Amino acid sequence: MLVLDRKPLTPAWASPMRQALEGVQGYKAGMTLAEAGRRTGLSAFSKLASNENLLGPSPKVAEAVMTAMSEPHIYPDPHSDVLRAAIGERLGVSPARLVISPGSEALIDYVFRAVLHPGDSILLSSPTFPTYEIFGRCAEARIIDVPRLANFDMDVPAVCAAAAQGPKLLVLCTPNNPTGNALKAEDFQAILAATPRSTVVFVDEAYREYHEAFDTFAMLDAWGGPWVSARTFSKAYGLAGLRMGYGVASSPELVEYLDRIRPPFNVTAVSQAAALAAWEDQDYLQRTVALTIAERGRVEAVLDEMGVEHTESHANFVFLRSPAGPDATAAHLLHQGLIIRPTPVAGGWVRITIGRPADNDALIAALPAALSL
Ligand SMILES: *Cc1c(COP(=O)(O)O)cnc(C)c1O
């Protein structure tokens, strides 16, 4: 008889599941509002744990969603043609080089499954977004980690040396999550120059809208190998709940392979309409990005005044070292109605999303006690 309450990571029954999954620790998402409510008895929170845009999306999204909701019985366009045309036009790339996914996490999945054979290697630099390692292990890839320097910048000479060995996949996340710092153009250039054109370069630009440091596509095209840039509507565009991301690939042929793996109806009609409305309202995007960057500066100035160590963030969050330790700080702030993200990064680091001005006021007021200053 099958006993159902076994721990999934150590099944005592003869598991039919792939051996490779035994060592995989699933992604730990930030605390939900419901969970925060259960733990504290409070009813209102500033959700500063998942880098959502608390200013919300363009007001034009609501109208587009209502219109799209009028035909829930009709399948969505499996190729998101209208959206791809709009994205391609503004970015100056052919829509045939674009792939749409329910969030960029799904794009990571498509690319990793399309590229990696068991035993292939992935080069990454920790601490970084955990999904690369999770999906890499699911694909039975070998993870080659070139750890970041003490200030969390990439160790560019070491990455170049490892890239020159020809990993199957090179992952570059800029600005990097959870540390916030970004690659400089000359470092991106140096890493590409060291990388053979047999390697697939995957650039995660989830926070691109907050920091357009260089023309990623032009530099990747000049390098000349296969590449995918992953972008998302979840962060600056404020659509995390509707799950929309997109990838730009080096060639239409690469997209054709991703389309074999991609479930045909992977994004809903409602999500396509919402993303299109958000994409078309660039004025709104620029205003919300400018406000978030200004608010990040305000929070960082307070951190500096308090003598709190933090990275140079180019994204919609700050990454700081807590003298009290990440878990104590997160627990303290939770009881003040602030959900933040403790991280396992050595030295006691926490990641805190920049919210609306009032969220940031509450954070600034609560921080000294939460950090035990
Ligand atoms: C948030 C995030 C993603 C995933 O976002 P989606 O909601 O799946 O688009 C991907 N990469 C990084 C670095 C992120 O921070």
Assess whether the C-beta atom of 53 lies below 6 angstroms from ligand 1: no
Q: Cis omega before residue 95 (within 30°)?
A: no
According to DSSP, residue 227 is labeled E
- Local confidence band at 26 (pLDDT 50, 70, 90 cut-offs): confident
Q: What are phi and psi of 46, to 5 degrees?
A: -95, 115
Domains, the chain, ordered by start: 26-55+283-371 (3.90.1150.10), 60-280 (3.40.640.10)
Task: Give the nearest ligand 1 atom to 104 CA.
Answer: 9
Cα separation, 327 vs 361, in Å, equals: 22
- Give the number of the atom of ligand 1 that is nearest the alpha carbon of residue 173: 13
Q: What is the pLDDT of residue 11?
A: 56
| Nearest CA owner, ligand 1 atom 11 | 206
Q: Is the CB of 232 under 6 A from ligand 1?
A: yes
pLDDT per residue as tens digits for the range 200-220: 999 999 999 999 999 999 999
Check if 302 has its Cβ closer than 6 Å to any atom of ligand 1: no
Say what the pLDDT of residue 3 is. 44
pLDDT at 27: 87
Say what the alpha-carbon torsion angle 348, 345, 320, 284 is, to the nearest 10 degrees. -150
| DSSP state string for 287-341 | HHHHHHHHHHHHHHHHHHHHT--B----SSEEEEE-TT-HHHHHHHHHTTTEE-E
Distance 302 CA to ligand 1 centre (A): 27
Average pLDDT for the chain: 95
More confident residue, 28 or 244: 244
Segment 82-121, tens digit of pLDDT? 999 999 999 999 999 999 999 999 999 999 999 999 999 9
Residue of 161, 169, 152 whose CA lies nearest to 112: 169
Q: Is 122 in the pocket of ligand 1 (CB under 6 A)?
A: no
In the block, tokens 């926490």 appear at: 350
Can you tell me which atom of ligand 1 is nearest the CA of 232? 9
